[in-house]
Amino acid sequence: AMGLYFRRARGSTAESAVAQMERLLNCLNFFIEAADKPKIRKHRFDVVLMILRSAELRRRLRLKTETPTELFEGFIGRTERMAITCFVSLAMKLRELEFRDIFDKLLEWSEGSGRSLRDEVGKEMSSTQKYLDRSIVLQKCLCELLERVQVLFAPFVTRLLDRTLELLVGIPEDQLAKMSTDSQNSRNRKRKSVDKSNHLTTQLKTAAESSLRMLGFYFTFAEDTVSDRVFDKTLETLLEVLALPRMNGEVVKSTIASFASRSFKNAKEESEGSRRLSTVNRLVILKVRTNNSSLRLQVTECILAIAQSLGEAYLPCLPEAMNFLADLIDDEDLEVEAKARELGQLLEELSGEPILAQLKE
C-alpha cells in the first residue's frame, strides 16, 4: 500500500499526495494504538520502515516542485507531524532495548551517506537538500520524543548532540550567499535554480530552529550534569547562533536561559555549577560589544531571561551584570535602554539594592 501511495504521489499535486499519505498514516497510527504490545514489538521494524518511507515525501515532492513555497512546507508539515505521531506512539509501547532498535533505524535513515552538513556544501545541491530534508524530520521527531517520552529517550540525546549543534550553525552566511550567487550564474540561468537555492536557506532555518527547540527540551528535562566537552561545545555553538540574523530570537533566548539554568542546577558540586553559570553569563555579556543594536537587544534579553530563570541564584553574577548595565542604561537605541532598565529592576528586586540609582551616580 505504501509503494502504491508513493507511485500515486509522484503523479499527483502536493496537496493530493499529502492527503493520500495522511490517510495511510492515520490507519497506521490506529493499528499502533489498538494492537497489543507483543504484536507491536514483533512488527516494530515493519512499522518503522513505513514511517520512514512516509517521511521521504518531503524530498520526493520537492524534486518535482519547481518553486517550493510556504504552502508546500505547510502540506509537508502535516504529513511529517502524522509520521512523528506514529513514531512516538510506537516508542511508548516498547521497552528500552526495543526502543534502541528503532531509534538506531531512525538515525541510519537520517544520516544517509554519513556526511556532515559542511561536507555536503561542496557537493551537488540535491545532496545537501537530501541531508537537510531528513535532518528536519529527525529534529522534529526528537522534540516530540523529549516532550512526551523523556524518561525513555533522554539517555540517547547526547549521541545526537554533535549533529544538532552542527545544524544550529548550518552553512555559514557567506557560503549561503555564494551558493545563491552560483545558482544565479549557472549556464542555464533558470529561475528554478534560484528558487531552490532560496528554499535551501529556508530549510536551514527550519532545521536550525527545530534543533534549538530540541536543545531547549533537553535542558528542561535533563536530570544529570553534562560533561565538560558537551558543556563547552554547546556554549560555543549557542554563542555563535546568538549572532545569526536568520535565527528566531525568542527560541535562542529561551534555549540559552534553559542551558544556563540547567548547567547551574544539575552540577555535581555547587562550585562547578557557579563556575559554569559565570562562564555562560560572562561570554553572553561579551557579545554586547557591537554596533548592531538588534544584537545588543538580543544579548540583554538573554541575560534578563537567565536572571529570571535562576532568581536569587543569579546574584553571584551581579558585579558583571552591573558593568553590563552601565554600558546600556543610556543606550542610543531606546528599545535596548528599556530592556536594560527592566533587567536593572529585576536585579534590584533580587538583591534589595538600589542598583539603577547607583548606576546613575
Q: What pLDDT is stored for residue 304 in this prediction?
A: 92
Q: How long is the chain?
A: 361
Q: What pLDDT is stored for residue 271 in this prediction?
A: 85
Percent of the chain with pLDDT over 90: 7
CA torsion 310-315-318-321 (nearest 10°) is 10
Model confidence, pTM: 0.68
* Residue in 76, 177, 183, 48 with CA at minimum distance from that of residue 132: 76
Q: What pLDDT is stored for residue 307 in this prediction?
A: 92
Q: By the 8 A CB rule, do 30 and 91 touch?
A: no
Query: What's the mean pLDDT in 248-258?
Result: 83
The per-residue DSSP string of 74-100 comes to HHHHHHHHHHHHHHHHHHTTS-HHHHH
pLDDT by residue (tens digit) across 166-178? 777 765 555 555 5
The overall average pLDDT reported for the chain is 77
* 229: CB partners within 8 A, 6+ apart: none
Determine the Cα–Cα distance for residues 302 and 281; give it in Å rounded to an integer.
9
The number of C-alpha atoms within 13 Å of 166 and in the hemisphere containing its C-beta is 16
pLDDT-based confidence at residue 89 (cuts at 50, 70, 90): very high
Q: What pLDDT is stored for residue 356 in this prediction?
A: 81
Determine the Cα–Cα distance for residues 160 and 176; give it in Å rounded to an integer.
24
Q: By the 8 A CB rule, do 235 and 256 touch?
A: no
